[in-house]
């Protein structure tokens, strides 16, 4: 059975002091003083600094073959994004609900994580489109076809593993009515829109994160999935999935409740640097002084998983494009449209009306000859012999916190344009057309921005930042 309510309360109190004692107040060398001020100036603040590793990094179990060029990696990232576009987020239905296969899942970042006492370390794929954190466990007859970098999680050698009973609150929160095993533990079946699935047992464990600032922070009572029956495809070369959505059981949501870390932020290095550097991720509390000068937009209360925001328009070189505001809005009656931030998807996808307007405007302002004209979903042009290409400046606009102001998300050339693997002398617009009315701001566009998500105040903020230093 799960821990009692009184025991959990005592554990949460001790956890706060444990985290404060374990987490160093000094920064990793590559983090600037501004990062420290942003998180540490608040009284009694606690900070965990972890690393996000891009799948193309040489130390990643998902790394491409040696010798793969930047252009080939960029094209592969776009293709991975293509495979996800038929639906938003990895997990949209439980296993017993029919789900349509739309191609294999592929996130962009991995993260080191450990469960158990003593810690058993794993590599998890970060997924902003789902809410469950799970790893594959021993006695997994349905996992024999997978290649993963670490041994399966073994609850029998952990002194902190506690199975959740099917009558416990967490089991009802996951699914109602709950699923029960023969031993009255909480069974879960978790299906994904690409047709893959996992099933196993819901449990609580001690979680340990690798902390780049010093001692590794430890938290108890973390709800995780111990999975022992998975689909035949979709989970090779990593140990599990780290759900980063807004739902109850995601990593940020649980840190918010059991460790009082209400804010998480990250600074993604640009795509060209992902094979040599990792990106910073921080969990902590917000800075009332806003030392970094972040601008904020509200997080919209839509659904339970994705991070919806109020996008209002796009400008090129300071001139607003003629796009109706309705093109960015979520339509509740049809459960369609809207704009989300999704670092797990490489490329920004715009609804057709928005993409077509952006493509035409870029074409009007670009002096280079268009190539690949038959592909209406990809806009590319020839820059052969051009040492310093001149690109139009793209700015995304969002509604401010007061409901009337507008805040800007400025994009650099590396955010807006990228190489084409078929020809080194060709550059392409780093935006694609969505397969629906929904739009998503992908990781390529988020790079070189310090982005903060405040789940308590329901807001997202950002500032342009060189994430390589």
Q: Read off the pLDDT of residues 92-148 as tens digits, 9 standing for 90 and up.
A: 444 333 332 222 345 789 999 999 999 999 999 998 888 899 999 987 766 666 678
Tell me which residues are annotated as active site.
Answer: 127, 342
Residue 202 maps to a domain: yes
String of DSSP letters for 242-271: EE-SSSTTSHHHHHHHHS---EEEEEPPPG
- Examine the domain organization and report whether 352 and 413 are in the same domain: yes
Residue 64 maps to a domain: no
Tell me whether the omega of the peptide bond preceding residue 126 falls within 30 degrees of 0, making it cis: no
- 451-469 tens-digit pLDDT: 999 988 999 999 999 999 9
Tell me what pLDDT residue 223 has.
95
> How many domains is the chain partitioned into structurally?
2
Tell me what pLDDT residue 90 has.
39
Closest CA to 273 of 36, 48, 73: 73
- 417-432 tens-digit pLDDT: 988 766 678 899 999 9
Domain, as residue range, for 238: 5-30+86-259
Does the pTM surpass 0.75? The reply is: yes
For β-strands 431-433 and 348-350, DSSP reports them as parallel
Which CATH number do you get for residue 361?
2.40.70.10
Task: Specify the higher pLDDT residue, 7 or 379.
Answer: 379
Task: Specify the higher pLDDT residue, 36 or 44.
Answer: 44
Residue 366 three-state SS: coil
- Examine the domain organization and report whether 240 and 361 are in the same domain: no
- Examine the domain organization and report whether 187 and 319 are in the same domain: no
Tokens of 74: 């960029």
- Examine the domain organization and report whether 94 and 147 are in the same domain: yes
CB atoms within 10 A of CB 7: 12
- Examine the domain organization and report whether 19 and 157 are in the same domain: yes
Tell me what pLDDT residue 106 has.
54
- Examine the domain organization and report whether 254 and 376 are in the same domain: no
pLDDT at 71 over 90: no
Residue 303 maps to a domain: yes
Task: Specify the higher pLDDT residue, 13 or 1.
Answer: 1
- Examine the domain organization and report whether 249 and 324 are in the same domain: no
Tell me what pLDDT residue 25 has.
30
Contacts of 401 (CB under 8 A, 6+ apart): 296, 297, 298, 459
pLDDT at 42 over 70: no
Q: Answer whether 140's CB lies under 8 Å from 152's CB.
A: yes
Residue 326 three-state SS: helix
Residue 272 maps to a domain: no
Compute the mean pLDDT over every residue in the chain, rounded to the nearest whole number.
81
- Examine the domain organization and report whether 309 and 204 are in the same domain: no
Residue 154 maps to a domain: yes
- Examine the domain organization and report whether 305 and 449 are in the same domain: yes
% pLDDT > 90, the chain? 46
- Examine the domain organization and report whether 307 and 450 are in the same domain: yes
End-of-domain residue from the set 239, 259, 279: 259
- Examine the domain organization and report whether 241 and 350 are in the same domain: no
């Amino acid at each position: 059975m799960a821990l009692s309510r009184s025991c959990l309360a005592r554990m949460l109190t001790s956890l706060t002091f444990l985290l404060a004692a374990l987490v160093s107040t000094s920064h990793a060398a590559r983090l600037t003083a501004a990062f420290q001020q942003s998180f540490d100036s608040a009284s009694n603040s606690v900070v965990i600094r972890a690393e996000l590793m891009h799948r193309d990094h040489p130390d990643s179990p998902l790394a491409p073959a040696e010798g793969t060029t930047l252009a080939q990696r960029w094209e592969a990232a776009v293709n991975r994004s293509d495979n996800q576009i038929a639906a938003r987020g990895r997990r949209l239905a439980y296993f017993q609900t029919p789900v349509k296969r739309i191609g294999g899942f592929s996130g962009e970042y991995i993260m080191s994580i450990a469960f158990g006492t003593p810690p058993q370390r794993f590599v998890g794929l970060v997924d902003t489109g789902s809410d469950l954190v799970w790893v594959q466990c021993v006695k997994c007859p349905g996992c024999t076809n997978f290649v993963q970098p670490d041994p399966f999680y073994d609850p029998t050698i952990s002194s902190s593993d506690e199975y959740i009973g099917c009558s416990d609150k967490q089991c009802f929160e996951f699914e109602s009515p709950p699923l029960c095993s023969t031993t009255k533990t909480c069974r879960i079946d978790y299906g994904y829109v690409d047709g893959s699935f996992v099933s196993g047992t819901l449990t609580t464990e001690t979680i340990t994160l690798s902390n780049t600032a010093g001692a590794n922070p430890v938290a108890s009572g973390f709800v995780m999935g111990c999975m022992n029956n998975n689909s035949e495809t979709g989970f090779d070369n990593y140990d599990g999935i780290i759900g980063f959505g807004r739902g109850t059981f995601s990593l940020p949501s649980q840190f918010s409740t059991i460790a009082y870390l209400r804010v998480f932020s990250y600074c993604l290095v640009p795509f060209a640097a992902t094979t040599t550097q990792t990106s910073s991720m921080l969990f902590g509390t917000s800075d009332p002084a806003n030392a970094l000068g972040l601008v904020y937009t509200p997080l919209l209360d839509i659904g339970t998983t994705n991070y919806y925001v109020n996008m209002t328009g796009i400008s090129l070189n300071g001139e607003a494009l003629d796009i109706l505001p309705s093109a960015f809005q979520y339509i509740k009656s049809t459960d369609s449209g809207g704009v989300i931030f999704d670092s797990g998807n490489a490329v920004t996808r715009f609804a057709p009306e928005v993409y077509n307007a952006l493509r035409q405007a870029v074409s009007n302002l670009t002096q280079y000859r268009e190539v690949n004209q038959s592909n209406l979903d990809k806009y590319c042009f020839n820059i052969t012999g051009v040492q310093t290409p001149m690109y139009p400046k793209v700015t995304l606009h969002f509604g401010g916190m007061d409901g009337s102001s507008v805040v800007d998300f400025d994009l650099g050339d590396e955010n807006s344009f990228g190489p084409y693997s078929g020809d080194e002398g060709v550059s392409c617009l780093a935006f694609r057309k969505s397969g629906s009315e929904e739009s998503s701001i992908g990781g390529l566009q988020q790079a070189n921005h310090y982005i903060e998500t405040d789940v308590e105040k329901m807001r997202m903020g950002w500032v342009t930042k060189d994430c390589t230093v």
